[in-house]
Amino acid sequence: MFHHDCEETSIMALEESHVRRAAHLARLAVSDDQASGFVDDLSRILDMVDQLQSLDTEGVAPLAHPLDATQRLRADEVTETNQRDTFQRCAPAVENGLYLVPRVVE
């Protein structure tokens, strides 16, 4: 559908047939109006990707998140008591501390 070679700067134009092919492969129903709209939308997205690829990113470290934020984590402490024996008393079948379930794969 879209081919970009690092040494080659010519870009294949996106056509409605490409959108229809991608929709078929993704098993999506796309109307004529939607297909022509997607051509415009996807062409703008691919143009933006080309602009981004032209940027010099030498020495730029990859980011996990665009903001320098950290997740607050709770303390790693036990907050509940072990209730396995209580739960296993009402289970249909247990053996050696494990729950027994019906086999689903032969």
Listed residue (13, 12, 11, 17) closest to 36, CA to CA? 17
Q: Residue ranges of the chain with pLDDT lower than 70?
A: 1-12
What is the pLDDT at residue 62? 85
pTM for this structure?
0.45
- Domain range annotation of the chain: 12-55
What is the pLDDT at residue 11? 57
What is the pLDDT at residue 10? 46
What is the pLDDT at residue 72? 86
Fold of the 12-55 domain: Histone, subunit A (1.10.20)
Greatest pairwise CA separation for the chain in angstroms: 70
Which secondary structure element, helix H or strand E, spans residue 21, and what is its range? helix 16-25
DSSP letter assigned to residue 60: P
- Cβ atoms of 9 and 54 closer than 8 Å: no
What is the pLDDT at residue 14? 85
What is the pLDDT at residue 70? 80
What is the pLDDT at residue 24? 92
